[in-house]
Structure 1
């Protein structure tokens, strides 16, 4: 039994891994599949907008932009995987359906609030024309004069997020060739994202290889974005942030893919955490140099195919994924970025990790996300173009527009209860069974030793109670004589 206990202690972890692998793999009809298809959570998106309060003074007098952070404007989300199709290579293809519902009770303001923000379509067009022929820039200035297009627009929060008619986009729809037209008719930072997305995702189910569980195999049928100069930078193989391969350690580098990030974002271990339901986990955050310039981190050169100059320290140039609009991504309040970016404007408080750092808490054994806050800021890199009078006084500046906090605070109680059971039960069972077998083996050994001791004692008593008789010399001689054969009579007579 003790030997069995030792063997069990060795093979039990392997048995538990086999069970976990089977249970978390995506199989149609399983509980895990149901949670993955329609997550039993209600994520919240918090939106913060930088309202420009001195647009005229900035344009006419060269004053620093004065910004007032408005929000949060809170949206409740529902996520669902639709158009699901299992493939023969242990992958599954699907589309993501996200529904956003504004929550006035949780928000600090209304969707009808008016805000003044940079005119993204216009400033994108003028920045792109910086290196074009001069007559094209002059023509653009005349068109903007006729259409009364200005560098800043006043729109509602709802319009800024979900779309409004822009005269420049409307003009482009009529004059730009069909194969070069933008895929939308309105401008909005989240335009087209409320509903079923058009992108096809193909991820590994984990059935054949658990180490790839939840990782993206293809995005719209491609293994890469097609934007960056190396396979390492261009790959789409990352998680969507909800599930990861199991058996995560503190040395694991988690990878998240989001097409709006225009890259796979690495995450590294930061600290141990305990989430709702007393479920332990690891917190992962982006490394401090994730948006560093190639001057500091040479491996980042692949994200700057046209540089130098490259994106400023702490920002990421996502223009190739945003129809060449000069969009720079950063963390909120320019967290981990060059301080001069924040100092170029007035009204943004110093960044704080607790409020502005992106993080994900995961359960390391099963790779399930327990809690997450995806925090990203959208900025516009504006260039001065002297031939376009509307922006002739506009300095080169990274203009912050908006930042988002998207994620979940906790999982439902029924999910955390099962997770807690799955975490606690295997070691308890292993300890109990191994200990039980060891104890039984110990008593069996003691019993066996006791039996051997009693048997030896009985044998000794048997020898002592039946001693061999002591024989005299006379008895020995008599015995010897009795055993000898009598003499042959014939031989005696002859003699």
Structure 2
């Protein structure tokens, strides 16, 4: 039976029913589209075994690199004889390593929506991306004597004299010439370490050989144990660290600097506002606070840009005064004392080239040129999914040299000097594939609202036509006049 044979009542029911239905459904769903998409996305983002988030977390789908810039001391012999002159530094590198992350899952904790795990990080040298080779020799501060000198400041005179004699007999100097591979991941044998570890002294050094990242490549235990929210109960907490090494605070700083907060830097929940964000960094046993700095853009993907707060390493600032350790003098602005976190070695962290630091730090050496564009720590986040768009985690490692009475190698230093050793950039950029996916997620609410409001428009048009036909008596059917009313 053709449509033209339908009764007027049937046609009216169809027009007004379908039109009204489309109008109501379109307005309702279109009006709540943002909430619907947000609910679906939040459910999909929860970290659980077998989910897409889990697969991307277990094996990061982005290229991650660690770039090292080493400082070679070009006047080491002169400086070792006369510490009143300035050491001259020459930056070498970058020496680039591909970085891979794995996980050792220790348990899923449904009672509080967290997962307990260990990070497994491995590095492989990438010669094609580097400006130098792993076998390049670097003349740098001899970290083992510098560490013993730092520990000696808390010893009595007799222990100091013994330690000084040990340094003299060993033939160690203030500087050492080692390859990049030895200084970073491979490590090297040091005669003093062998002796100190065999003697019954108050000095405790938990290494058989020295290297700034020795015993770390592929280690399950080095970064500690993380307890992290999965987003099950609150998607905004996704990736946030609840505890580190089974504690909600660290023993290395005063509160609130000791509080374990922020994310691991890999997973983020949706960003609802432009407040500060935090990344918990186990290397410094503390959360780095980053402030919103404006809009970010990557291949057409829009997001938020963040920078490390200016006062992050300024313990004279009330917000950062909790980084001033109780057993030492507060350090100049621009430095963070991480010695307690790093086995009591005299390690101090700063921005590369002493960017935004006290001028005395830069004046003590030659060869540094701080550049905000090259040396700032920055982060870009896509707010809807929390996906990191780009990361440039740039920090510099410095060793403290200071005069300590009875330690012959260092007692003639005229003042403290925070000696730059290297700076690094942990770098990552969101892949094109994930950028495209994030763009689709960004526009999904607008597309959805367009579709459903479009349906509502069609429904409204059908109602309007139906009303006009009714008013003008234009319905046509087996018991009506023509479609268009004729006078």
Give TM-score scaled by structure 2 length: 0.87
Preserved CA contact (<8 Å) 2:88 2:366: yes
Preserved CA contact (<8 Å) 2:30 2:448: no
> Alpha-carbon deviation of 1:308?
6.8
Aligned partners of 2:154, 2:65: CA distance in 1, in Å? 42
Name the counterpart of 2:95: 73
Preserved CA contact (<8 Å) 1:43 1:77: yes
Deviations 1:60-92 (A, max 9, x none): 232110111111111112212233532223111
1:196 to 219, 226, 235: 219
> Alpha-carbon deviation of 1:4?
4.3
Between Structure 1 and Structure 2, the one with more helix by share is 1
1:368 to 384, 387, 390: 387
Name the counterpart of 2:269: 245
2:80 to 59, 63, 87: 59
5+ residue gaps, structure 2, are 1-19, 475-487
Preserved CA contact (<8 Å) 2:334 2:357: yes
SS in 1 for 2:320: helix
- The number of residue pairs the alignment matches comes to 447
Preserved CA contact (<8 Å) 1:285 1:358: yes
1:22 to 11, 20, 43: 43
Preserved CA contact (<8 Å) 1:291 1:316: yes
> Alpha-carbon deviation of 1:149?
1.6
> Alpha-carbon deviation of 1:361?
0.9
Q: Does 1:331 align with 2:348?
A: no
Name the counterpart of 2:295: 272
- The aligned runs of 1:297-446 (5 Å cut-off) are 297-306=317-326, 309-349=329-369, 351-394=370-413, 395-411=415-431, 413-446=432-465
Residue 343 to residue 385, structure 1, CA distance change in 2 (3 Å)? same
Residue 247 to residue 60, structure 1, CA distance change in 2 (3 Å)? closer
Aligned partners of 2:166, 2:213: CA distance in 1, in Å? 27
Aligned partners of 1:300, 1:34: CA distance in 2, in Å? 37
> Alpha-carbon deviation of 1:379?
0.6
Deviations 1:419-462 (A, max 9, x none): 2222222211112212321342243145225424549xxxxxxx
SS in 1 for 2:91: strand
5+ residue gaps, structure 1, are 456-495
Aligned partners of 2:340, 2:416: CA distance in 1, in Å? 20
Preserved CA contact (<8 Å) 2:337 2:347: yes
Preserved CA contact (<8 Å) 1:140 1:388: yes
Name the counterpart of 2:178: 155
Residue 331 to residue 176, structure 1, CA distance change in 2 (3 Å)? farther
Aligned partners of 1:59, 1:118: CA distance in 2, in Å? 10
1:165 to 185, 189, 204: 189
Q: Which has the higher contact order (CA 8 A, sep 6+)?
A: 2
Give TM-score scaled by structure 1 length: 0.86
Aligned partners of 1:29, 1:320: CA distance in 2, in Å? 39
Aligned partners of 2:469, 2:106: CA distance in 1, in Å? 66
SS in 2 for 1:122: helix
Deviations 1:71-129 (A, max 9, x none): 11111122122335322231112221222111122211111111111111211211222
1:12 to 23, 29, 33: 33
Taking only aligned residues, the RMSD between alpha carbons, in angstroms, comes to 2.0
Preserved CA contact (<8 Å) 1:248 1:367: no
> Alpha-carbon deviation of 1:38?
0.5
Name the counterpart of 2:484: none
SS in 2 for 1:7: helix
> Alpha-carbon deviation of 1:247?
3.0
